[in-house]
């Protein structure tokens, strides 16, 4: 690290759990964030400010006025701009040392098979059930850790999936891909703005923990937030040997 980096990341370096070695791992990391909206905004800003060396943002959408109530990386002046470019601009304004790749595309299987193997960790910040399963399957195939986040109305969810861990269930172990699922979106159901901030920030925290080797990752637990009473509940989960996605993995 150079003098500027030692100063910029000094508050991390002061932590015994991170120190210079942990911060160097963060600087060497490449995080893939899929979804540049309410969850992706705080996640990208915190990961960028923390010094993640490379970040790839994937989203095919553009900034809309209705996004600004909760998608804090975007601004009124960037309405109509691709979301990935808007977040790239926001991250670089905080930390110009981060290399940010903006990919304005849908997360297809082909794109995921190209990008996931390059990542240290993947953050699923999408709001589409089928896309979540597509991302989960790609991470299992390429054995890359995945941080799942979700938020709707006044509720949030967080789950850490690590295909390198033989005990870690994947997303499909808990939510079967073939299940009939009624898609719910913020545009029809609404969402309490701080909830996406809480979940997105926790996704960033779990990603940094995995990268730096800090603490214990929350694999094997589905965490659920009820912001009406600001209480978390946690459900222990286990790997399903018959899972169609990870059941055949060694």
Tracing tokens 């990870």 back to the chain, one arrives at 246
Mean pLDDT, each 10-residue run in order, the chain (250 residues): 94 96 98 98 98 98 96 97 98 97 97 98 95 97 97 95 93 86 65 96 98 92 96 93 81
Q: Measuring CA to CA, how many Å separate 183 from each of 131, 154, 188?
A: 12, 16, 10
Q: Are 102 and 84 spatial neighbours (Cβ–Cβ below 8 Å)?
A: yes
Secondary structure of residue 69 in the 3-state scheme: helix
**Sign of torsion over alpha carbons 219, 224, 227, 229:** negative
- Tell me the sheet residues that pair with 100: 55
What's the count of helices (H) and strands (E) in the chain, helices before strands? Answer: 10, 8
* Confidence (pLDDT) at 178: 81
* Confidence (pLDDT) at 190: 85
The pTM of the full predicted model, rounded to 2 decimals, is 0.95
- Strand duo 30-34 + 231-236: pairing: unpaired
Active centre residues (catalytic): 186
| Both structure tokens of 73 | 């990386």
What is the rounded distance in angstroms from the CA atom of residue 212 to the CA atom of residue 90?
24
* Confidence (pLDDT) at 235: 93
CATH numbers and ranges of domains, the chain = 3-236 (3.40.50.720)
| Both structure tokens of 109 | 């299987």
* Confidence (pLDDT) at 183: 60
* Confidence (pLDDT) at 250: 52
* Confidence (pLDDT) at 186: 61
* Confidence (pLDDT) at 8: 96
What is the rounded distance in angstroms from the CA atom of residue 77 to the CA atom of residue 55?
23
How many C-alpha atoms does 109 have within 13 Å on its Cβ side?
6
Mention every residue, 6+ apart, whose C-beta is less than 8 A from residue 175.
129, 132, 133, 181
């Amino acid at each position: 690290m150079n003098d500027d980096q030692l100063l910029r990341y000094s508050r991390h370096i002061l932590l015994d759990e991170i120190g210079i070695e942990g911060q160097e791992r963060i600087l060497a990391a490449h995080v893939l964030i899929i979804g540049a909206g309410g969850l992706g905004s705080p996640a990208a800003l915190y990961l960028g400010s923390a010094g993640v060396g490379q970040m790839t943002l994937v989203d095919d959408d553009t900034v809309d006025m209705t996004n600004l109530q909760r998608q804090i990386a975007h601004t009124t002046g960037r309405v109509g701009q691709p979301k990935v470019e808007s977040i790239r601009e926001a991250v670089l304004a905080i930390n110009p040392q981060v290399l940010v790749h903006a990919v304005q595309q849908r997360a297809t299987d082909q794109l995921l098979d190209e990008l996931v193997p390059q990542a240290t960790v993947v953050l699923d910040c999408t709001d589409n059930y089928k896309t979540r399963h597509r991302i989960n399957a790609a991470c299992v195939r390429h054995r890359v850790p995945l941080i799942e986040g979700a938020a709707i109305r006044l509720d949030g969810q967080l789950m850490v999936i690590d295909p390198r861990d033989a005990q870690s269930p994947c997303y499909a172990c808990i939510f079967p891909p073939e299940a009939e699922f009624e898609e719910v979106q913020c545009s029809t159901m609404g969402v309490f703005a701080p909830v996406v901030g809480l979940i997105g920030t926790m996704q960033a925290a779990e990603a940094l923990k995995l990268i730096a080797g800090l603490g214990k990752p929350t694999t094997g637990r589905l965490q659920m937030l009820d912001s009406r009473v600001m209480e978390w509940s946690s459900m222990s989960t286990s790997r399903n040997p018959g899972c169609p996605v990870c059941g055949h993995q060694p």
